[in-house]
Amino acid sequence: MSLWTSAEIAAATGGTASLDFAANGVTFDSREVGKGDLFVALKGETTDGHKYLDSASERGAAGAVVGRTTPHPHVLVADTVAALDDLGRAGRARTGATIIGVTGSVGKTGTKEALFAALDRPMPGCAHRSLKSYNNHVGVPLSLARMPRETRFGVFEMGMNHAGELAALTRLVRPHIAIVTAIAPAHTAFFPDEAAIADAKGEIFAGLEPGGTAIIPYDSPHRDRLIGAATPHAARIVTFGLTRGADVQAIETMRTATGGTFVTARLGDEELSYTLAQPGAHWVSNSLAVLAAVQAAGGDLAMAGLALAELGGLPGRGARFAASVDGGEILVIDESYNANPASMRAALAVLAAEPAARKLAVLGEMRELGDKSDAYHADLVEPVLASGAQSVLLVGEAMASLANALEGRIEFVHVADAATARDRLATMLAPGDTVLVKGSNGVGLASVIDALAGGKL
């Protein structure tokens, strides 16, 4: 069965189909078009998808959603951005799946991936999730539009950097279960304080379906604020955490020989012991949120435990790989996708637990922190020292305050950009090293990871 027919697309969007066609996938990036896909030609401030209609057709697109006529099979609409929203709504409306929304300042992508793996493990193909970090005003409707009609569980990540954005996204997703992973300083340039961030994350609960479940971090200082946001909308509120009093609680944890964690969790009247492949206390917390959601969705907790044991690191979010250097290999911990004060501390704690003879950290600046940026960067001094790193490579202008705080306490180099960091790192590496790479996505440390992975350092 096709994902969408041209008649269904036209009905969902109020558009007009040029001819009959059927699509098996949906994308708005012409570079990602595969055979049989529907290409949505979005027009934005910097680009216009209509320029790539020929390219999409050459790549095998079955048809396109367009705002102007084209010789290629298409559905003509008044506004392609609005049409993508409409297609997402139609995808959501036609499914009988249990829908789960995930947000938070940190951990939302990892939690979304872990939850997908946990729900899909008993019956591969029964679950659907948003790919990559497609969590904004175009990524969310795209992910909904990609959901097969026979899906049993749908897991959708929702992000924001301004108040009101999650309210719009949650109305599209209409989750049966809504998770907030954690609240931390992120996008603080756009919020007066952390409480305002909690309020913005709490918007996710306003979209809950009747009878829905809210899942909230018990250990958060904003727990009661989130509970207050959920209470008008949720039939049930479940807390998760590492301390006594959480509804889903880790009652015992033990580091494994491979760096993960053996966890015994209590979920109401049930207990579950499982091995968590990913290292770090933050992943223990994330796994508890996953188990709370699996239980709320009526999933298989035992299978969820197996999925958590098998879960590998995500590129840019904890993936590990061996890289070749002159004379041998090094271990690379790839946290290059993004950074805020909480996730930076968590990554440095993971580095601290590594049994390496020599550790290095490549730390890119944390962006969108507003007038508190200098203080947030300087406050990383103790986590950096506690990480056991023998040398630190700081990247970006905002790292100046951390450089000043580290002066005379550890060997470090401060450089302006990722390209310079890449060149400098090449002179620092030795066989047996463990290297952590972390920074805000805009710093471009993914290029350092690419160079390491390609053996070019």
Looking up residue 36, the CATH number of its domain turns out to be 3.40.1390.10
Structural domain harbouring 103: 95-310
3-state secondary structure labels for all residues of 289-335 = HHHHHHHHCCCCHHHHHHHHHHCCCECCEEEEEEEEECCEEEEEEEE
Of the residues 26, 57, 81, the one at which a domain ends: 81
Confirm whether 87 is domain-assigned: no
**Is 159 within the bounds of a domain?**
yes
Looking at the domain assignment, is residue 88 inside a domain? no
Same-domain check for residues 264 and 115 = yes
Q: What number is the average pLDDT over the span 159-165? A: 90
Band of pLDDT at residue 188, cut at 50, 70 and 90: confident
What pLDDT was estimated at residue 209?
Answer: 98
Residues 123 and 152 in one domain: yes
Number of domains in the chain: 3
pLDDT tens for residues 326-343? Answer: 889 999 999 999 899 999
What gap in Å lies between CA 443 and CA 339, rounded to an integer?
A: 10
For residues 51, 52, 58 and 63, what is the CA-based torsion angle, rounded to 10 degrees?
-100
Amino acid at 417: D
Q: Which residues pair with 5 in a beta bridge?
A: 22
**Which residue, 310, 339, 370, sits at the end of a domain?**
310
Is there a domain that residue 220 lies in? yes
Beta-carbon contacts of 427 under 8 Å, excluding residues fewer than 6 positions away, are none
* Average pLDDT of the segment spanning 175-192: 89
Query: Does residue 51 register a pLDDT over 90?
Result: yes
Torsion angles phi and psi, residue 196, rounded to 5 = -65, -35
The CATH number that applies at residue 112 is: 3.40.1190.10
Which whole number is the average pLDDT over 229-251?
A: 97
Predicted local confidence at residue 144, as pLDDT: 98
Helices 80-94 and 165-173 pack at an angle, to 10 degrees, of: 50
**In the predicted structure, residue 456 carries a pLDDT above the cut 90:** no
Q: What is the pLDDT of residue 305?
A: 96
Q: How confident is the model at residue 312 (pLDDT cuts 50, 70, 90)?
A: confident
Does residue 86 belong to any structural domain of this protein? no
- In terms of DSSP H, where are the helices of 99-193? 108-120, 139-145, 165-173
pLDDT of amino acid 186:
77
Q: Give tens-digit pLDDT for 90-147.
A: 999 999 999 999 999 989 999 999 999 999 999 999 999 998 878 999 999 999 999 9
- Same domain for 368 and 336, yes or no, is yes
The verdict on residue 90 lying in a domain is no
Q: Are residues 280 and 339 in the same domain?
A: no
**Are residues 191 and 249 both part of a single domain?**
yes
Domain-located, residue 171: yes
Distance CA 73, CA 62 (A): 7
Q: What is the mean pLDDT of residues 201-230?
A: 98
d(CA 226, CA 368): 23
pLDDT score at 91: 98
For the cut 80, the answer to whether the pLDDT of residue 288 exceeds it is yes
187: pLDDT confidence band, cut at 50, 70 and 90? Answer: confident
Query: For the CA atoms of 170, 174, 175, 178, what is the dihedral angle to 10 degrees?
Result: 30
pLDDT tens, 200-210? Answer: 999 999 999 99
Q: What is the mean pLDDT of the chain?
A: 95
* Same domain flag for 63 and 100: no
pLDDT at 258: 84
Q: Are residues 274 and 339 in the same domain?
A: no
CATH number at residue 354: 3.90.190.20
120 and 204 inside one domain: yes
Q: Are 19 and 6 a contacting pair, CB within 8 Å? A: yes
Residue 399 pLDDT class (50, 70, 90 cuts): very high
- Confidence check: pLDDT of 87 > 80: yes
Location of structure tokens 């790919």: 131
Q: Are residues 149 and 183 in the same domain?
A: yes
Structure tokens belonging to residue 448: 């350092």
441 burial via Cβ count (<10 Å: 0-12, 13-18, 19+): middle
pTM: 0.89
> Is the domain of 306 the same as that of 332?
no
Q: Which of 180, 256, 277 is nearest to 219 (CA)?
A: 180
Cα-Cα-Cα-Cα dihedral sign, residues 89, 134, 312, 292: negative
Question: Is position 18 within any domain?
Answer: yes
Regarding whether 168 and 145 lie in a shared domain, the answer is yes
Tell me which of 272, 288, 310 is where a domain ends.
Answer: 310
Least confident range of 143-147, 165-169, 311-315, 347-351: 311-315
Asked if the model's pLDDT at residue 63 lies above 90, the reply is: yes
Q: What integer pLDDT is reported at residue 118 of this predicted model?
A: 98
Question: Both 54 and 31 in a single domain?
Answer: yes
